[in-house]
Chains A and B, each alone.
Chain A
């Protein structure tokens, strides 16, 4: 029971400190909001770029031709070889006859010309669908090693540009997220340091009247948790609203990117994770700042 009373007293002390810190509290909450909001937005755009990537991946196919004299048995062997390459989602074989039929279906006005040909000029063709754009280069390099392959095609420029854009964006996102986490850590650490110095007389008195060190430290931790929760909740509300509006806007600007409603998947667990991360960071920062500065005041 005594521990409960002490804990309640520590919570009360934390709230009193938050209110008394006034301007410092407001700055801390603002920094937490900006940091969490920015990280949430970066997360959104990373997801969006992933959706763009998926949309393009659905359209990317590697097609390759075999020499015309490749026999049926070898064709089946090649089909199995390709299926066994990691990163291959599906393989479709089109025989020269099927290819000619499709050509005629596509250009019926030239049917007589096609039928008058002595020999079908079209080669046996494979269409390979990769699981991801990242596996394209690996698949094409393996396909090129098959001796019967005469030629292959895929939108190399598009894939390379896409891969470059995704990698650049991911890298920049990590840099920006790190910067925001750094700002968050710096401001929170400064806030706690200033709080300790503002309260150093009180801490000195507490020490002299027989206060246990945990009673001095815990309100700082609780304060960090409360500020993170306030900042986190406001950021979550802002993020939810922003996700909705930005998705609506992107649907208008880039209507060809399918499945843009992924923001619906950005459910409550994202906000919980963001808040928990903020709390974790604040506890981590509090621990180190208290360890460093309280030693000077309360060794």
Chain B
């Protein structure tokens, strides 16, 4: 589903990523782990096509993202992203935030309503539909962000340090939610530097440091 082939990225002659290669199959869950500044966000931004690689090639569903000249917004409906700072519309309610990706595609109000309520129930926010983001806790805001990201049934869900601003208990509940979403068949890539999370969940790990791939670890099969 997703393939990095010798991908490097330079920012003003400074190498943020160096010759990264890995492959991810449909339905997999991958933690990208590494210290701050290791290049985790750069990998996610490359997948989300916010930036272009300096060298190498990225394939998504056998299509080269590097050579892709289609509409980026269409691609971003298949590759959803979650951010550490949630990136919610401040002046929209929980319902409006979550319904937004469907509204811009012109789905009928009935369809949108059913789908939003179903998704909010899945992330445990069915009671918060009319609240504004600033009245929610960090964990709740991240759940809104997750609901908005999965409402389109994306092929891949990428999460950039989604637990970075949360306490450990809330962080685990957010990762539990990712596991639940992953079980429905959505491929998930999550970057983190939280060792506790990596230890607790038996998932594939891609460890990077200073822009280089140090190792890859596959989950134990019991």
Residue contact A209 to B108, C-beta cutoff 8 Å: no
User: Given the complex of chains A and B, what is the CA–CA distance between A207 and B182 in angstroms?
Assistant: 25
Q: Is the CB of A209 within 8 A of B74?
A: no
Chain B residue, CB-CB nearest to A12: B103
A25-33, A210-218, A228-236, A275-283: which one contacts chain B?
A210-218
Q: Quick check: B107 and A5 within 8 Å, CB to CB?
A: yes
B77 interface contact, C-beta 8 A: yes
Q: Are A211 and B104 in contact (CB-based, < 8 A)?
A: yes
In the assembled complex, B6 has its CB within 8 A of some CB on chain A: no
> Which candidate, B20-28, B54-62, B87-95, B208-216, is the interface stretch facing chain A?
B87-95
Taken together as a complex, chains A and B put the C-alpha atoms of A202 and B100 apart, in Å, by 12
A215 contacts B104, CB within 8 Å?
Answer: yes
Measured between beta carbons, the chain B residues less than 8 angstroms from A20 are: 91
| A-contact 0/1 string along B90-128, CB 8 Å cutoff | 110000000011011111110000000000000000000
A211 in contact with B73 given A201-B90, A202-B89 (CB within 8 Å):
yes
- Asked if A269 is at the interface (CB within 8 A of a chain B CB), the reply is no
Q: Which residues of A are found within 8 Å of B103, using beta-carbon distances?
A: 5-6, 9
Beta-carbon contact of B73 and A212 below 8 Å: yes
For the A-B complex, the count of residue pairs with Cβ-Cβ distances under 8 Å equals 60
Q: How far is the CA of A209 from the CA of B50 in the complex (A)?
A: 12
Q: Is the CB of B106 within 8 A of A209?
A: no
Q: Enumerate chain B residues within 8 angstroms of A5, measured Cβ to Cβ.
A: 103, 106-109
Q: Are B87 and A205 in contact (CB under 8 A)?
A: yes
A207 CB contacts on chain B under 8 angstroms: 73
Does A210 contact B87, Cβ atoms closer than 8 Å? no
Given A201-B90, A205-B88, A210-B74 contact (CB < 8 Å): yes
Answer whether residue A2 sits at the interface, using C-beta atoms and an 8 A cutoff: yes
Let me know if B152 is at the binding interface, CB within 8 A: yes
| Max chain B Cβ within 10 angstroms of own Cβ: one of A202, A206, A210, A212 | A210
Q: How far is the CB of B92 from chain A (nearest CB, A)?
A: 9
A213–chain B nearest beta-carbon distance, Å: 7
The reply to whether B106 and A6 contact each other, CB–CB distance below 8 Å, is yes
**Alpha-carbon distance A17/B50, docked complex (angstroms):** 27
Q: Is the CB of B101 within 8 A of A210?
A: yes
CA distance A2 to B76 in the complex (A): 19
Query: A residues 177-227 with Cβ under 8 Å of B?
Result: 201-202, 204-213, 215
B-side contacts of A113, CB under 8 Å: none
Within 8 Å of chain A (Cβ to Cβ): is B143? no
Q: Is B148 positioned at the interface, with any CB of A under 8 Å from its CB?
A: yes
Q: Are A209 and B105 in contact (CB under 8 A)?
A: no
Contact indicator A208/B81 (Cβ below 8 Å): yes
- Chain A residues with CB under 8 Å of B106's CB are 1-6, 9
| Per-position binary interface string of chain B over residues 136-148, scored 1 when its CB falls under 8 Å from any chain A CB and 0 otherwise | 0000000000001
CA distance A209 to B80 in the complex (A): 7
Complex: how many Å from CA A145 to CA B73? Answer: 78
A9 touches B88 (CB 8 A): no
Contact of B73 with A210 in the complex, beta carbons under 8 Å? yes
Counting from the closest, the 10 A-B pairs by CB-CB distance are A2-B106, A210-B76, A5-B106, A210-B77, A6-B106, A210-B73, A9-B103, A205-B87, A211-B104, A215-B104
Residue pairs across A and B with Cβ atoms less than 8 A apart, 28 shown, are A1-B108, A2-B105, A2-B106, A5-B107, A5-B109, A6-B105, A6-B106, A20-B91, A202-B90, A204-B87, A205-B88, A205-B89, A208-B50, A208-B83, A209-B80, A209-B104, A209-B149, A210-B73, A210-B74, A210-B76, A210-B77, A210-B104, A211-B73, A211-B104, A212-B73, A212-B104, A213-B73, A215-B104
